[in-house]
Amino acid sequence: MNVIDTIKSAMRNTHLLRIKYEKKTTQEAKEYVVEPYSFRDERFFGRRIDIPAPKGIRGFYISNILTATEINKTFVPIWDVEKTEYGGD
């Protein structure tokens, strides 16, 4: 499955998502576990679970996501999971 399909699946299933993300400005790659919520303007928005809610929402450019893995662990959304151009079927 490609990155977008993996994120779509995690959104549909309200599963956590592990992403490996490269910051283009520093070339640094980091892993994050996020609750997936939305796609907008070539970006994916998720809440990092290591930061207490409601903080922790981050935007990640799709082109900078190196890998995405759906974790078989559900989460209870604190916001609506948006069914948009990317997130919906």
pLDDT in tens, 36-83: 999 887 899 999 988 877 788 899 999 999 999 999 999 999 888 886
Whole-model pTM?
Answer: 0.85
- Closest alpha carbon to 32 in 5, 10, 13: 10
Q: Which of 3-17, 19-33, 46-60 has the lowest mean pLDDT?
A: 46-60
Length of the chain: 89
Determine the topology of domain 3-74 in CATH: SH3 type barrels. (2.30.30)
- Element counts in the chain: helices (H) and strands (E): 1, 5
Please list, residue by residue across 20-30, b when 16 or more beta carbons sit within 10 angstroms of its beta carbon and e when fewer do.
Answer: ebeeeeeeeee
Q: Where are the domains of the chain?
A: 3-74
